[in-house]
Amino acid sequence: MYRPDLVGIAFNKGSPPDSSLRDRTSVEAFWRFRFSQSFAITPSIQLLADPALNPVDDKIWVWGARFRLTF
């Protein structure tokens, strides 16, 4: 079983340039798994609270994965 070599949490609060839109807050958690010196996978999950361009939903969950391959 692989253990993450890096774990992080990010927080962001932003205001859109259009004052009629609401401010957005986002939180992201990620874990990087390095399988070798040249290959890593970083899954993440984000919570977008009060998305500016989506007045219907108050919260949106986004899953993601980054892959890094170096030569």
Enumerate the domain spans of the chain. Answer: 6-69
Determine contact, residues 7/33, Cβ cutoff 8 Å.
no
The answer to whether residues 65 and 45 touch, using CB atoms and an 8 Å cutoff, is no
Q: What's the pLDDT band for 1 if we cut at 50, 70, 90?
A: low
Cβ atoms of residues 32 and 2 within 8 Å: no
Q: pLDDT digit string (tens) for 29-66?
A: 999 999 999 999 999 999 999 988 888 999 999 999 99
Beta strands in 4-58 (DSSP E): 6-14, 24-36, 39-49
∠ at Cα 6 (1, 4), nearest 5°?
A: 5
Identify the pLDDT of residue 25.
94
